[in-house]
Structure 1
Amino acid sequence: MLIPFECIAFLRQRFGAVLLCLAVPALGFAQALRVFVAPADAAPFGQLAGKLTPRLQQIAADTFFIPAAPSGLDSAAHTLLGHLRANAYLAASLDSLTYLNDSLATARLYLGPPMRWVRLEAAANGNQRWLEASGFREKLFTDKPLRYDVLLRLEQQLLQQAENTGYPFASVRLDSVQVLGDGGVSAQILVDPGRFFTFTDLKIAGNLRLPKSYLPQYLGLHPGSPYSHARVLRIRQRLNTLLFVETLANPTVTFAGNEARVNLFLQKKRASRFDFIIGLLPRSGASATDGRLLLTGSLSAGLLNAFNLGEHLSLELERLRPETQKLDVQAGIPYLFGLPFGLEGRLGIFRRDSTWVDAQSELGVQYLLEGGNFIQFFWENKSSSLQKIDTLAIIQSRRLPTVLDLRQNGFGLEATLNQLDYRFNPRKGWFLNLRAVAGFNSVLRNSTIEALRDPADPEFQFSSLYDAVAGRVARYRLEAQADYFIPLFVRSTLKLSMRGGGIFSEKPIYANEQYRLGGSKRLRGFDEESLFATRFVIATLEYRLLLSQNAFLSAFSDYGYLENQTDRNRFFLRPWGLGAGLNLETQAGIFGISLAVGRRDAGMAVDWRAPKFHLGYVNLF
């Protein structure tokens, strides 16, 4: 095949000089282009050009007319040539260009034959493993149109495979190229891997102090492991999820010998916190005019990397309503002895009015993945003790109350995957948490209930009420949470969230082991932990306007499906809450305010006269 002298190298240099084409000069602001082609090329050219936008108009057997876009004739010519080359006419070029006036120009087009692969095979230098890993198959390049975009995609896949397995300076090219007169092309694809590199110890500039193994484990940059460019590109994002780390500059890589050293510029960031939330809620049952309000509050503190071990310690105290309090203490330390394992512990106490008290403890071992993701195996223990018993109701009904003394033990498995760009105030990414627990539940006999006597029937033994619930009963619990953030415009994001849980058992599930929903954390627009459920799903749609790194303005809607099944009844609720909030970052800390209203069930009206107002403050130190 004869190739016109006007052509220049078309394929990238690393693929070798295969075909040539002419670069089109700037063509001013002409508004139309008339294209002349050889009569033999008119039919195939017409078929291809008919798919262009704007479409070509055929005004003669070998003449076509192209309306130029507002950007001018230059754009129209490049669009035409790009379309032809993408459809295997790689030799297509404009042989001549003549301006007739300011709004019209003519061009003579050389189309050339459609190029096709006769065969593309791996070069005999051990490239086969690279090609197989990238998905290359010879049959995909045998008697197929030679499309440059497909060839370029193969090159990119090969380079990515190489640079992520220790060969950052690999190159790809076509070798032994043969071009036939009918447009057939045969060649060998050659991968030159270059020098092999492995990661060495990180170099950290700044005042950040952590165990030597922490960042290599967290970032996946283990000394001695093959260099991976993908891991290097993820460093900045993963460091952003460490709240106690501030990045001063972008990471760099130094190559020396066969080692790649990653240089990090980090300093310690204030991340320990003290915060509180105050809630003002209309009292349950209060009328719209009596003005009675219920004051709720949450006080919490957390230490993060206070001892330069990457550890965390948090304490939270909540007053959900009068005589109802909750205390939660949690602590964890990662990468014990330089290994990808961590310990996590939790202790919680909950007091519901004067009815019952829960005590729960949990101890887990985490297998830490890259980026703070983990899989955890844990043991949990929970006990619940009655504090106040309505003895008259038990005597009259001869039935146990809906709340009983309980003891639970179980083992669980939890997995967390976090791909958010910034954990505290994300704009894009996703988060997933899955949790499963299997264990046994035992009802404990209450001496007060067993000692009851019915004056009307002194022979009746109330201890017999426990016969139906005695013994250990298997309990299973499944929980999940999924968050997805979609970036909108320049400074906005849309949060889609789904969370749910369920308790499964052949025996009745008592009130003091059910999920407690409602409040500022789960199902906004309702009193704190006022809705009980054995199974639930909550969907959230929230728009956020990001004001700064830690500040945003939001509008949200929470919709839930709740099922409560006990030995006495089974009912369903479809609560809906909506509202707005503002988190404002100042030098003194982060202030938050939110207002929400709710509808308890479908068919009921939103209670606009009973809004839930929360005011919060977070101070980092």
Structure 2
Amino acid sequence: MKYLLYFFLFICNFSLHAQEKKFILIDIQNNQKKVVSDSLSAAKFLDSLSQNSYYLTEVTNVKKTKNTTEIFFDKKQNFNIAEVHLSDSLAKQLNLSENFTTKNLDSLKQNINQKYRDKGYSFNRVKTKFKGFKNKIPQVDLEISLSEKRTIDKFVLKDYDKVPKRFVRNLEQDFLHKTYDDKTLLKINSSLQNHPFVLLERPPQTLFKRDSTEIYLFLKKKVNSTFDGIIGFGNDKTDKFTLNGSLNLNLKNIFNGFETIGLFWQRNPDSGQTFNLGTDIPYLFNSKIGLNLNVNIYRQDSTFATVKAIPGFYYHISSNQKIGIRGTFETSAVLDSLYTAGKDYTKQGIGIWYQFTKPTETEIFQYQTRVITNIDYLRANYTDQKFNQIQYFLSAENNFHLSGNHYLNLNGESALINAKNELNTNELFRFGGWNSLRGFNENSLYADFYAYGGAEYRYLVNPQTFFDVFGQYAILNNPTLAGQVKLYSLGFGFKFFLPIGLMSLQISNGSQFGEAFNLKSTKISWGILSRF
């Protein structure tokens, strides 16, 4: 019984193989063969030849045996290789010869079509007229049929249209009546892709009317108000462990005017506190003129307090550039009669400033490029004398994409007070901390001149997370010190998005060149930036 079963299985297997059929397609031009399993596959293969410009493909013979079908075919001439003839005017427009041979007629027609699309002829047609064969090469005449030239005639806002009128006017000034082509659409898309107040939910859509072209922009109000809290751990000047931090609230576009209202508070380990209130209105009376007002209060424990108000106006050069004029009104008072490093004073003056910001395509980075600079001319009034002063400030930052997930952030900042009189401690620049020279306490460094630069390597794990390692170098000049002081800081950290916002952790340490590295001076900063 066992052997009978084996014999039965062998007969069935042999019978199944005997019933298998195959189709062999043979190209008579080069005798190449292609084997397929069924007639449908054979028909699809022959159809594909016509789609590849073998329009005259012909089946010349079919031979059938018991389980095999041989199909002989002749592809004939490939019409994608052709001798092209252009009219004199068309040849000049395309900067081509009137007669030439092309190896890819389809690609040539697509290129011609695209050239006229770039000129605004969105509905042009490239016509091919077959004239016969010459030396087995197809002869074709190419002609172009042009529709009416298209320009951008109107912008239509959809979904979110409660935007400042100046926003729409800026779009119209930049793009209205420009040639309608792919490049212009990309520029429109790029100008809105990383806008601080609106989101472009989909690429710009086009409605072609008989006599006009309208661009539809599907906008969404950006959730852009932020609350930023930072907690810092470190030691003060007496090596005592302290807890410090800052709170930063920014309300943006709550009145649909692209306005910003900011409130900032900070406490540093050396008992200094900063309070800042600012507002920015970008389009006054639907013009390109913006208003900026900032009030800053700084109090150093019980020794002195300084109040500074800076009102200003600015002009939008473009969506990324601003230039402005501002006034400065500053008052400082010494609170402790035993504090001899400071003096009471008032300052008034005027200045100009410039800002350039380029948005980033990587959301977790704040921006691609940012440059801020200003010059202020001030009149300083002390109890017994008056002096003129000039203050300079420059800050620059750029993110470079090295390759893959690797990025390099380069940044620097510098400031100078040019004065003939001897400056007091309460009127010097204060810097250091999370957003400047890391590894030092917030606002713990005083100087009439400072400059620092840093390099930060960033590894982007995904669009929502990156790790970084950084190094910074700084020089500063303090009137109470002999000569310039050179500092450095090193550290690492990471940032990533959570459901509640962007979390940051930074571990850093800084020291003066020539001094031993002190682990007790290590700073740990942790913060959350939430949007609402």
* Common fold: TM-score over 0.5: yes
Contact 1:7–1:21 (CA<8 Å) still a contact in 2? yes
1:405 CA displacement: 0.7
Q: 1:201 and 1:359, CA in 2 relative to 1: closer, same or farther beyond 3 A?
A: farther
Q: 1:501 aligns with which of 386, 396, 415?
A: 415
Q: Distance in 1 between matches of 2:250 and 2:380?
A: 33
Q: 1:329 aligns with which of 272, 277, 298?
A: 277
Could you tell me which runs of 5 or more consecutive residues in structure 1 were left unpaired when the two chains were aligned. Answer: 1-5, 25-151, 172-191, 287-291, 392-400, 446-465
Aligned identity (percent) is 22
Q: 1:234 and 1:536, CA in 2 relative to 1: closer, same or farther beyond 3 A?
A: farther
Contact 1:168–1:227 (CA<8 Å) still a contact in 2? yes
Q: Is the counterpart of residue 237 in structure 1 residue 206 in structure 2?
A: no
* Equivalent runs, 1:39-438 vs 2, <5 Å: 168-169=120-121, 199-207=152-160, 209-217=162-170, 220-221=173-174, 232-256=185-209, 259-286=212-239, 292-321=240-269, 323-390=271-338, 401-422=340-361, 425-426=364-365, 429-438=368-377
Q: Distance in 2 between matches of 1:219 and 1:304?
A: 24
User: Counterpart of 2:522?
Assistant: 611
Q: 1:260 and 1:536, CA in 2 relative to 1: closer, same or farther beyond 3 A?
A: farther
Q: Distance in 2 between matches of 1:552 and 1:337?
A: 42
1:339 CA displacement: 1.1
Listed one character per residue, the Cα deviations across residues 222-280 of structure 1 (whole Å, up to 9, x for unaligned) are 65677797654233333243333222111134454664432211112211111210000
Q: Is the counterpart of residue 527 in structure 1 residue 527 in structure 2?
A: no
Q: Is the counterpart of residue 441 in structure 1 residue 380 in structure 2?
A: yes
| Amino acid in the other structure paired with 2:271 | E
Q: Distance in 2 between matches of 1:503 and 1:424?
A: 36
1:590 CA displacement: 1.7
Q: Distance in 1 between matches of 2:257 and 2:497?
A: 28
Instruction: Identify the range of structure 1 (242-251 vs 371-380) with the bigger mean alpha-carbon deviation.
Output: 242-251
Q: 1:539 aligns with which of 444, 453, 462?
A: 453
Q: Distance in 1 between matches of 2:471 and 2:489?
A: 6
1:574 CA displacement: 1.4
**Which has the higher Rg, Structure 1 or Structure 2?**
2
Contact 1:282–1:610 (CA<8 Å) still a contact in 2? yes
Contact 1:219–1:370 (CA<8 Å) still a contact in 2? no
Contact 2:362–2:463 (CA<8 Å) still a contact in 1? no
Q: Distance in 1 between matches of 2:460 and 2:281?
A: 32
Contact 1:219–1:238 (CA<8 Å) still a contact in 2? no
Question: Alignment partner of 2:354: what SS?
Answer: strand
Contact 1:316–1:329 (CA<8 Å) still a contact in 2? yes
Contact 1:436–1:479 (CA<8 Å) still a contact in 2? yes
Contact 1:372–1:418 (CA<8 Å) still a contact in 2? yes
TM-score (normalised: structure 2): 0.71
Q: 1:571 aligns with which of 477, 480, 483?
A: 483
Q: 1:476 aligns with which of 386, 390, 402?
A: 390
Contact 1:198–1:258 (CA<8 Å) still a contact in 2? no
Q: Is the counterpart of residue 590 in structure 1 residue 502 in structure 2?
A: yes
Q: Distance in 2 between matches of 1:514 and 1:377?
A: 23
Q: Distance in 2 between matches of 1:402 and 1:423?
A: 46
Q: Distance in 2 between matches of 1:605 and 1:349?
A: 35
| Amino acid in the other structure paired with 1:594 | Q
TM-score (normalised: structure 1): 0.62
Question: Alignment partner of 1:233: what SS?
Answer: helix
Q: 1:519 and 1:219, CA in 2 relative to 1: closer, same or farther beyond 3 A?
A: farther
Q: 1:221 and 1:403, CA in 2 relative to 1: closer, same or farther beyond 3 A?
A: same
Contact 1:583–1:593 (CA<8 Å) still a contact in 2? yes
Question: Alignment partner of 2:519: what SS?
Answer: coil
Q: 1:413 and 1:259, CA in 2 relative to 1: closer, same or farther beyond 3 A?
A: farther
| Amino acid in the other structure paired with 1:320 | N
Q: Distance in 2 between matches of 1:302 and 1:570?
A: 41
Q: RMSD of aligned C-alpha atoms?
A: 3.5
User: Counterpart of 2:400?
Assistant: 486
Q: 1:418 and 1:331, CA in 2 relative to 1: closer, same or farther beyond 3 A?
A: same
Q: Distance in 2 between matches of 1:413 and 1:504?
A: 16
Q: Distance in 2 between matches of 1:402 and 1:509?
A: 9
1:325 CA displacement: 0.9
Contact 1:540–1:559 (CA<8 Å) still a contact in 2? yes
Q: Distance in 2 between matches of 1:421 and 1:229?
A: 22
Q: Distance in 2 between matches of 1:502 and 1:525?
A: 22
Contact 1:219–1:231 (CA<8 Å) still a contact in 2? no
Structure with greater strand share of residues: 2
Listed one character per residue, the Cα deviations across residues 132-166 of structure 1 (whole Å, up to 9, x for unaligned) are xxxxxxxxxxxxxxxxxxxx9xx9xxx89x97xxx
Q: Distance in 2 between matches of 1:430 and 1:257?
A: 42
Question: Alignment partner of 1:213: what SS?
Answer: helix
Q: Distance in 1 between matches of 2:404 and 2:469?
A: 17
User: Counterpart of 2:71?
Assistant: none
Q: Distance in 2 between matches of 1:377 and 1:229?
A: 39
Contact 1:207–1:266 (CA<8 Å) still a contact in 2? yes
1:16 CA displacement: 3.3
Q: 2:96 aligns with which of 16, 26, 34?
A: 16
Contact 1:196–1:258 (CA<8 Å) still a contact in 2? no
Q: Distance in 1 between matches of 2:464 and 2:279?
A: 24
Contact 1:596–1:612 (CA<8 Å) still a contact in 2? yes
Contact 1:218–1:372 (CA<8 Å) still a contact in 2? no
1:428 CA displacement: 7.9
Q: Distance in 1 between matches of 2:96 and 2:505?
A: 63
1:547 CA displacement: 4.1
Contact 1:479–1:501 (CA<8 Å) still a contact in 2? yes
Q: Distance in 2 between matches of 1:495 and 1:247?
A: 27
Contact 1:428–1:487 (CA<8 Å) still a contact in 2? no
User: Counterpart of 2:30?
Assistant: none
Q: Distance in 2 between matches of 1:517 and 1:474?
A: 23
Contact 1:297–1:318 (CA<8 Å) still a contact in 2? yes
Contact 1:199–1:221 (CA<8 Å) still a contact in 2? no
Q: 1:534 and 1:420, CA in 2 relative to 1: closer, same or farther beyond 3 A?
A: same
1:572 CA displacement: 0.8
1:213 CA displacement: 2.6
Q: Distance in 1 between matches of 2:263 and 2:177?
A: 40
Q: 1:410 and 1:531, CA in 2 relative to 1: closer, same or farther beyond 3 A?
A: same
